[in-house]
């Protein structure tokens, strides 16, 4: 592996299995951000001089890369935000607040992240819409339940695009792991975060169909998003710039271009394939430990959720920390999921190894030591 492709955090004495929370960044992404601060530190769309033009070019380059990465039809359909949460709030309060009316229905999975439930619940208070939750079993959606809960009043649904219903996708946990094609999927809005896919923190992406973005109203106003204004009128810039008020995380957006190039060089299909092998191996080894309960054995993705008999998930997480293993314990920002227990989440990424899994399994076999630790 070339030096730029290496991860400084992988050189630490830790085993990192909390990739669903955030991921490590390769040197090349960090260096790209440093180049901005060291070589052309200027603002975007605000200077008539070379280094400002350079910033503009780099931001446009990232926007075009994101467009190709998710196969959007035009780069104007790509909006830079702070994170997935920011993107989803922009959709809910910039578009649906103005297009839904009382008693319209929104169908969601109860296993969604808080960022894709709470804005809709707030909208139900503001507008009187009805939020309908789809059943899930072991954190997998029931397609039959979705079909049964679609009614003539349903206006937004997470997975179906039949009957003219708009589709909003939270791709924070899929964009890092699988190839996403928004044109093939025909989704209306899609959100994800750079930091969960080897990119900088503070950078999110909102994709929206151009026709819908033209109907979306900004809920942040200020510099960089207006064409002209006076005391009685305001004319906004075109999409997407009208949704990017103020100075963005320029270094992060510029660094994200290197992230996309990095992932493209590896290949999203290769990432998905490798993670499937890792997860299958992890499940197989966990099944050999009789006091380990696996909650989502047959699910897709790179996450494995477990508990140890007689041990609180928080205690297990803290014990693993003493062995330099990083995991997440709790409800994982999905407090309405079908699993009501606190659990330990092991989330993999392509830079994890079989040897790291072997070490985790070896540590989990120390039940007596774990019981003593948790007393």
Residues in CB range of 184: below 8 A, 6 or more apart: 71
- Return the DSSP state at 237: P
33-41, long-range: CB < 8 A, 24+ apart: 33/200, 33/251, 33/252, 33/254, 33/255, 35/254, 36/250, 36/251, 36/254, 36/255, 37/251
Phi, psi of 95, deg, nearest 5: -110, -60
326 given a catalytic annotation: no
Determine the Cα–Cα distance for residues 118 and 124; give it in Å rounded to an integer: 10
Q: How many CB atoms lie within 10 A of CB 196?
A: 25
The burial class, CB within 10 Å (0-12 / 13-18 / 19+), for 20 is buried
With beta carbons less than 8 A apart as the criterion, state whether 234 and 178 touch: no
DSSP bridge partners of 235: 228
Strands in 203-274 per DSSP E: 204-208, 226-229, 234-236
**Per the residue annotation, which of 198, 299, 326, 333 is the catalytic one?**
333
Residues forming the active site = 333
């Amino acid at each position: 592996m070339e030096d730029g492709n290496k991860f400084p955090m992988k050189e630490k004495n830790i085993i990192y299995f909390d990739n669903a929370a955030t991921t490590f960044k390769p040197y090349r992404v960090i260096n790209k951000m440093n180049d901005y601060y060291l070589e052309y530190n200027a603002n975007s769309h605000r200077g008539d001089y070379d280094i400002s033009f350079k910033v503009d070019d780099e931001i446009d380059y990232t926007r075009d890369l994101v467009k190709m990465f998710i196969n959007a039809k035009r780069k104007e359909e790509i909006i830079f935000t702070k994170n997935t949460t920011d993107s989803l709030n922009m959709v809910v309060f910039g578009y649906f607040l103005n297009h839904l009316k009382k008693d319209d229905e929104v169908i969601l999975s109860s296993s969604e992240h808080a960022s894709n439930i709470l804005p809709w619940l707030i909208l139900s208070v503001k507008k009187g819409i009805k939020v309908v939750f789809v059943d899930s079993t072991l954190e997998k959606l029931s397609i039959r339940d979705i079909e049964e809960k679609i009614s003539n009043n349903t206006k937004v649904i997470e997975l179906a695009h039949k009957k003219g219903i708009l589709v909003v996708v939270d791709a924070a946990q899929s964009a890092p792991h699988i190839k996403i094609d928004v044109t093939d999927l025909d989704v209306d809005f899609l959100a994800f975060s750079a930091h969960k896919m080897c990119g900088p923190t503070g950078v999110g992406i909102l994709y929206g169909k151009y026709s819908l973005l033209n109907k979306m109203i900004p809920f942040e106003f200020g510099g960089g998003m207006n064409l002209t204004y006076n005391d009685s009128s305001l004319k906004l810039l075109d999409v997407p710039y009208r949704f990017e008020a103020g100075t963005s995380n320029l270094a992060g957006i510029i660094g994200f271009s290197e992230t996309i190039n990095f992932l493209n060089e590896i290949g999203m299909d290769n990432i998905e394939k490798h993670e499937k092998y890792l997860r299958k191996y992890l499940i197989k080894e966990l099944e050999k430990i009789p006091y380990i309960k696996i909650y989502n054995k047959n699910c897709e993705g790179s996450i494995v959720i477990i508990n140890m008999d007689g041990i609180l998930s928080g205690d297990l997480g803290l014990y693993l920390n003493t062995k330099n293993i990083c995991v997440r314990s709790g409800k994982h920002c999905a407090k309405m999921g079908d699993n009501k227990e606190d659990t330990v989440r092991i989330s993999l990424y392509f830079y994890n190894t079989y040897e790291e899994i072997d070490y985790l399994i070896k540590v989990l076999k120390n039940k007596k030591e774990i019981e003593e630790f948790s007393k």
